[in-house]
Structure 1
Amino acid sequence: MKIFHGTVEIAGQMGILSDALQKKGHYSIGYNTYFSYLGYEDYLINTNFDYLSEKQEELIEYFDIFHFHYAKTLNPSFEDLPLIQKKNKKMLMHHWGNDVRFHDKAKVNNPYVNTWDSPPNDVIDQVLTKLSAHIKEAIVQDYEVYEYVKDYYDKVHVVPIAINLSQFTPRFPQVTKEKPLILHAPTNPYFKGTAFIENVIEELRKTHNFDYRRIEGMNHKEVIKLYEEADIIIDQVLCGSYGLLSVESMALGKPVVTYIRPDLISTFPEDLPIVNANPDNLYDQVKLLLDNPILRQQLGILGRDYVSRVHDHHIIADQLLAIYAQL
């Protein structure tokens, strides 16, 4: 099969999925119109909508499956969708969160969530209505995102975030380290709750000996090298689910602090080894890790095992191929 991924690269997923799909004998490539300082490069063609418009007919003719991401297609007005449909080519949409996070729905089960980065509700509704008129099935990474799109598509598949484990060598926290390093890497400080996190860090400095580093504006490959040095990684404490930073941190064998909404806990595997923290209990949860170096190491070991079973991109590629087959 020839698989088109596009047109927004979120958390390196188009490249990671294409890597695994190619290793399984299919041609898969991502066309990316969104550029960020993270600098994702693998299995990507960085382009723009003018080029995609110019090559639209060729692309529709060449590819068998169109796996779109982040509520974007070949055309900003979605004029490509009826053309793809007319050619009887397979399509599905992969939603990632902020593209579909209705502001009012997000707050129903989560008093902490910050949705400022999502479009207005009416815009999300219009986009989902246009997309689902032609695309009948969607993918989401978890049940936090599932709720926003389930009423628009005929079927919504839950497929975890993918990671290429071969690029992550675990470095478990050492129990003898006297001054542990806490890392936080917010791509979006308001969404991740950075202000709450750093307030807690300042409080803990009064009683504990540790280093803290906030990482921003760095290339993804450079950031991973810094993650390797960490003993505790705090991801996001507002959203109610975990993202790529949590997955990468677990792959590196680090204990991860992230907020998982109580109503969503049962939707993840029972052995999810994340330290669950929101702004109200963040101090206690981080203190627990600072006070217990053996726990830090144990969680790191459990995290690596969890990611290898749930998020390995070869496992995710098999899930995708099963979905493609029944479209």
Structure 2
Amino acid sequence: MRIFHGTIEIAGQMGILSGELKRRGHLANGYNIFHSYLGYKDHLYNTNVVELEQMSKHLINFFDLFHFHYASSLLKQYKDLEMIKDKGKKMIMHHWGNDVRFHEQARENNPYVYTGDSPANVVMHNRLNAISQYVDEAIVQDYEVYTYVEKYYKKVHVVPISIDLAPFEPHFPKKDVKRPLILHAPTNPDFKGTVAIEAAIRQLKKSYDFEYRRIEKMNHEAAIQLYQEADLIVDQIRCGSYGLLSVEAMALGKPVIAFVRSDVANKFPAELPIWNANPDTVMTAIQTLLENPKLRNELGKKGRAYAEKYHAKEIGVDMLERIYANLPSG
């Protein structure tokens, strides 16, 4: 099958999924118009809006299935979707969070959430209406995102974030470390809750001996090298679910602090080993893990097992192939 992924690369997912699809014999590639310091490049054709528009007719004729990401498509105002549907090609839309996180709805179940990166509600609503006029099914990575889009599509699938485990050799925290290293990597400090995290760090520094590093504005490969050294990784404590950093940290065998809403947590497998904390409880969470090196080690081992079981790219693409096979044509 010839599979198009596009047009916005979020958390390396287009490249990871395309790479595994290629390994299975499909012709798959990601076409990306969003470029950042993270520097994702594997299995991607990094392009721009103008060039993509110029290529659109060829792409529509060539590919069998269009897997769009982040409420994007080939042409402005989703004009390509009707063309793709008329040709009898398959389509699916993959939503990732800020593209669909309706502001008031997000706050109904989460007083901590930051939605400043999401467009106005009316913009998201109009986009979803325009997309779902032609695209019947969607994918989300968890049930935090699911509720924002479920009413727009005939079917919404949950496919967890996927990673290639091969580069992630686990480095479990040592039980006898004298000065633990805590890492936090805020791609967006407001979204991640960095102010609360660093306030907790400053307070704990008065009583505990540890090192803290804030990792930002660094390409993805370099950041992974630094994550390997950590004894504890603090991810996002406002969103209400965990993200790519948490998955990568678990793959590296690191204990992770993040905020997972209770209603969302109930939808995850019971063995999810993330230590749950929000801005009000993050200091206590960090303190608990600073005081318990054995617990850090245990959580790290559980995290690696969880990443292997639920986030390996092979698992995600198994799910994708089943979804693709049952998508309506045109």
Q: What is the TM-score with the length of structure 2 in the denominator? A: 0.99
Q: Is the contact between residue 49 and residue 76 of structure 1 (CA under 8 Å) also seen in structure 2? A: no
Q: For 1:248-287, what aligned pairs fall within 5 Å after superposition? A: 248-287=248-287
Q: Report what 1:98 is aligned to.
A: 98
Q: What secondary structure does 2:130 align onto?
A: helix
**Identity among equivalent pairs (%):** 57
User: Residues of 1 paired with 2:76 and 2:245: CA distance?
Assistant: 29
Structure 1, residues 201-230: CA drift from partner, whole Å, max 9, x if none?
001001110000001100000000000000
Q: Report what 1:87 is aligned to.
A: 87
The alpha-carbon deviation at position 76 of structure 1 amounts to: 2.3
Q: Report what 2:226 is aligned to.
A: 226
User: Residues of 2 paired with 1:210 and 1:223: CA distance?
Assistant: 20
Q: For 1:5-24, what aligned pairs fall within 5 Å after superposition? A: 5-24=5-24
| Number of corresponding residues | 327
Q: Do structure 1's residue 184 and structure 2's residue 184 form an aligned pair? A: yes
- What code does the residue aligned with 1:54 have? Q
User: Residues of 2 paired with 1:44 and 1:283: CA distance?
Assistant: 40
- What code does the residue aligned with 2:88 have? N
User: Residues of 1 paired with 2:288 and 2:298: CA distance?
Assistant: 13
Q: Is the contact between residue 162 and residue 316 of structure 1 (CA under 8 Å) also seen in structure 2? A: yes
The alpha-carbon deviation at position 23 of structure 1 amounts to: 1.0
Q: Do structure 1's residue 164 and structure 2's residue 188 form an aligned pair? A: no
Q: What secondary structure does 1:118 align onto?
A: coil
Q: Report what 2:314 is aligned to.
A: 314
Q: Is the contact between residue 18 and residue 30 of structure 1 (CA under 8 Å) also seen in structure 2? A: yes
The alpha-carbon deviation at position 190 of structure 1 amounts to: 0.2
Q: Report what 1:246 is aligned to.
A: 246
Q: Report what 1:64 is aligned to.
A: 64
Q: For 1:112-131, what aligned pairs fall within 5 Å after superposition? A: 112-131=112-131
Q: What secondary structure does 1:59 align onto?
A: helix
Q: What secondary structure does 1:19 align onto?
A: helix
Structure 1, residues 156-187: CA drift from partner, whole Å, max 9, x if none?
00000000000100000001110000000000
- What code does the residue aligned with 1:68 have? F
Q: Report what 2:37 is aligned to.
A: 37
- What code does the residue aligned with 2:111 have? P
Q: What secondary structure does 1:79 align onto?
A: helix
Structure 1, residues 218-260: CA drift from partner, whole Å, max 9, x if none?
0000000000000000000000000000000000000000000
Q: What secondary structure does 1:55 align onto?
A: helix
Q: For 1:135-150, what aligned pairs fall within 5 Å after superposition? A: 135-150=135-150
Q: Report what 1:28 is aligned to.
A: 28
User: Residues of 1 paired with 2:204 and 2:144: CA distance?
Assistant: 31
- What code does the residue aligned with 2:152 have? Y
Gaps of 5+ in 1: none
The alpha-carbon deviation at position 314 of structure 1 amounts to: 0.8
Q: Report what 1:153 is aligned to.
A: 153
Q: What secondary structure does 2:199 align onto?
A: helix
Gaps of 5+ in 2: none
Q: Report what 1:302 is aligned to.
A: 302
User: Residues of 2 paired with 1:235 and 1:76: CA distance?
Assistant: 34
The alpha-carbon deviation at position 315 of structure 1 amounts to: 1.0
Q: What secondary structure does 1:99 align onto?
A: coil
Q: Report what 2:200 is aligned to.
A: 200
Question: Which runs of 4 or more aligned residues in structure 1 lie more than 6 Å from their structure 2 counterparts after TM superposition?
Answer: none
User: Residues of 2 paired with 1:212 and 1:262: CA distance?
Assistant: 28
Q: What secondary structure does 2:28 align onto?
A: strand
User: Residues of 1 paired with 2:239 and 2:142: CA distance?
Assistant: 12
Q: What secondary structure does 1:269 align onto?
A: coil
The alpha-carbon deviation at position 25 of structure 1 amounts to: 1.1
Q: Is the contact between residue 180 and residue 210 of structure 1 (CA under 8 Å) also seen in structure 2? A: yes
